[in-house]
Amino acid sequence: MAAQPTQMPTVLAGFPGNDATTGRWQTVFESSDVDRARAHVSGLLCDHALDHRFRDTPPLFRHLHAPFASLGVHDLDYTMYGGDASIRVPELAGLYLLELNLKGSAVFSRGAEETDFHAGQMCVANDGEPHVKRWCTDGRQIIIRIARPRLNQVLEGLIDRPVDAPLRFEPLPRPIDGWTASLAQMVRMIYGELAAPGGGIAQLRAAHSAERLLLELMLETLPHNYTAALEGSLPEPRPGHVRRAIDFMHAHAAEALTVDDIAQGAGVPVRSLQRAFRDSVDVTPMGYLKNLRLDRARQMLVDMPSTGVTRVAFDCGFTHLGKFAAAYRRRFGEAPSTTARR
């Protein structure tokens, strides 16, 4: 379970109260009727089931929302009065949810896996993956609703090739510090712009630039199965033979590839390929391939832990289990068996 932060990050502590009614924010919704609250939030955020247990006073649900470019920005507040509420999402059809926890504690359940979600943390709910979130305390969240095609479009622009497999973020909540604090600060800026008189940049073409920056920060600061493809990338497009080599590696990652195979797949001499990777990716072709395989292995261990570490290693192109485990630990800071158990 994640450790509970001892202090709220400044970037979250500075969020305004959720009673704003100016700017582009819609009217605040407030209700103790669980069925009415579920229907309201389902229609604006995502379909879900809502169960609750309470003693004398039913929980109070408050919801504020507004559009920002292609995004939906949602502010949800739960007052439990000593009870709890479970939110069960069967699946997110074509959506990702970037969630910032501003107050309280919840428990995320994905299958048999349970993870604490504390104030001062953020996480991503992936497209197509069911989950349950149980609030045991009063809580407040900011949730950014993101359409899958838009996020894929931004990802393709960053990696300079089509997205050939579903984007999957690591499901574990992450503390808001370092680079993730920059992402939270961007969410806070958008939140504030929505409450600005006249709507702020939310009504201008600049809103699309702010939206793109938010999605780029999300992709570059939160781990996912395309992280290896983003590492060391430059803003300008990569040379054509580097893109061909990367596409070749993604298509044949599970095979016993050599640098000669990759160079042949890209249609260039080995030395030219190595020099191009050093200049534009800042890693060798074989280093890129190893990171790609490790990222795929981690995603398989998260999604299908019952497969087993040995099977995952071989399916991802590793032929020596000890070397795989050592490389995995260096990259992710834990053994592959630990990822599978969690």
What does the pLDDT read at residue 19? Answer: 53
What does the pLDDT read at residue 240? Answer: 79
Least confident stretch, 120-124, 202-206, 257-261, 293-297: 202-206
Residue range(s) in the chain whose domain bears CATH number 1.10.10.60: 227-341
- Selection from 38, 158, 142, 161 nearest residue 98 by Cα: 142
Q: Is the pLDDT of residue 11 over 70?
A: no
Residue range(s) in the chain whose domain bears CATH number 2.60.120.10: 10-221
What does the pLDDT read at residue 163? Answer: 79
272-307 pLDDT, tens digit per residue, is 999 888 887 778 899 889 988 888 888 788 777 788
What does the pLDDT read at residue 8? Answer: 59
Least confident stretch, 75-89, 210-224, 229-243: 229-243
Half-sphere exposure of 83 (CA within 13 A, CB side): 19
175-204 pLDDT, tens digit per residue, is 988 888 999 999 999 988 887 776 667 667
Please provide residue 315's backbone torsions phi and psi, each rounded to the nearest 5 degrees.
-65, -25
Angle (CA) 143-212-276 rounded to 5° is: 125
What does the pLDDT read at residue 286? Answer: 92
Mean pLDDT confidence for 62-86: 87
Q: Please, what's the largest Cα pairwise distance for the chain?
A: 75
- Per-chain mean pLDDT for the chain: 83
Give the integer Cα–Cα distance in Å for 200 and 207: 9
Which has more confidence, 306 or 258? 258
Q: Is the pLDDT of residue 226 over 80?
A: yes
Please provide residue 277's backbone torsions phi and psi, each rounded to the nearest 5 degrees.
-65, -40
| Confidence bin at 79 (pLDDT 50/70/90) | confident
CATH topology of domain 10-221: Jelly Rolls (2.60.120)
Asked if 190 and 145 touch (Cβ cutoff 8 Å), the reply is: no
Does the model's pTM come out above 0.75?
no
| Confidence bin at 5 (pLDDT 50/70/90) | very low
| Confidence bin at 164 (pLDDT 50/70/90) | confident
CATH topology of domain 227-341: Arc Repressor Mutant, subunit A (1.10.10)
Q: Which of 1-5, 23-27, 76-80, 184-188 has the highest mean pLDDT?
A: 184-188
| Confidence bin at 136 (pLDDT 50/70/90) | confident
Which has more confidence, 273 or 55? 273
Q: Given CA atoms 166, 114, 223, 140 in this order, what sign does their dihedral have?
A: positive
Q: Quick one: what percent of the chain has pLDDT higher than 90?
A: 24
Check residue 147 and give left, alpha or beta (phi > 0: left; psi -120 to 50: alpha).
beta
Q: CB neighbours of 264 closer than 8 A, spacing ≥ 6?
A: none
204-223 pLDDT, tens digit per residue, is 778 888 999 999 999 999 98
